[in-house]
Amino acid sequence: MNILHFIQPDDYQLIHFSFSLIAEIDQKIKDKKLFYENQILDYVNSQIECFLKTCNVKQSLKVVYKAELYQLMKLKLNELFNKYTLLKCY
């Protein structure tokens, strides 16, 4: 048995997307392509918006998915911000 037997496919897509985006951001920070916290947050916002456009669900569910994605990624993003020395814009 695997995790797909226990959760819905949409939930699995959300989890998979969030972890792959965190891995992508981590790699981009290592490659010095992203180096501002605000730049990373804008990138996350744009990627989430693009992902939600591909979802074939109602607008109200997209709002819920967006909130869930932010919650899933919030802790990992904070860990990345603490792990690397990133510039901050105030």
Predicted confidence at residue 87, as pLDDT, reads: 81
Per-residue confidence (pLDDT) for residue 31, from 0 to 100: 95
Count CA atoms within 13 Å of residue 26 on its CB side.
Answer: 14
Q: Is the pLDDT of residue 4 over 70?
A: no
Per residue in 24-72, pLDDT (tens digit) is: 999 999 999 998 999 999 999 999 999 999 988 899 999 999 999 999 8
65, exposed or middle or buried, with CB in 10 Å at 0-12, 13-18, 19+?
buried
